[in-house]
Amino acid sequence: MADVHVTNGSAVKIAPEWKKLLEEEFGKPYFKELSEKVRGEYLKGPVFPPPAKVFRAFELTKPEDVKVVILGQDPYHTPGVADGLAFSSQPQNPVPPSLLNMFKEIESEFGIKCERNPDLTRWATQGVLLLNVSLSVGAGQANSHVDFGWHMFTDAVIRAISDKCEHVVFLLWGSFAGKKEALIDWEKHLVLKSAHPSPLSAHKGFFGNSHFKQTNEYLTEHGRQPIDWR
């Protein structure tokens, strides 16, 4: 693993494959400013996820293994919930509402029963990059780090996957994620958009979108192993 200094003074590990792919970003002035802002927040008070898990999505899914990208907005801001993966949570916790709706959609599409375990490591290790657009958040303050510069970094991640990877499915749920479609080469990849799985919007187009089934059909068509969504 390679070191990136972006938290409370100790180096955070990021897989060398990502370090190489994103090396130019780590050297840009905005990333230095971002690192200083985030480090300052960790020193001032509770920030989530824990420092060692900021880049966890990149530890579990290497660039060459990415099959699916699911975009979230920012980590859960409640203590003990965020684990570094979008929509995921630590295994002892209840299933968050949006993830529960994702499980319900999967069950409807495939006629299967999802494990009610909020830890989505099982998806990440199959090639699902669970990427929050902001990788840190202050305790009890949703979107509190949204203006720190994380979006510049994660936009670069999306562009790099679009440019360097083949036949990836991008699942863009909600208006926030949907805006990222401009970063993706639609001729090389499959982009699926719908309402967000949040209880506030799931009935406006998320339920019944067949995105998980379409994802697996696309992967199979292009000689890639489909995802076991259970």
Instruction: Tell me the C-alpha distance between 152 and 137, whole Å.
Output: 16
Question: Can you name the residues that pair with 47 across neighbouring β-strands?
Answer: 138
Residue from 74, 163, 185, 228 carrying the catalytic annotation: 74
Cβ atoms within 10 Å of 208's Cβ, excluding its own: 12
> Is the separation of the CB atoms in 138 and 77 below 8 Å?
yes
Q: What DSSP line would sit under 115-137, residue for residue?
A: -----THHHHTTTEEEEESSS-E
**Known active-site residue 74:** yes
Structural tokens at position 124: 């990440």
Tokens, residue 136:
């840190």
Beta partners for residue 70, in sequence order: 130, 171
Enter the tokens of residue 143: 């979107």
Q: What are the catalytic residues? A: 74
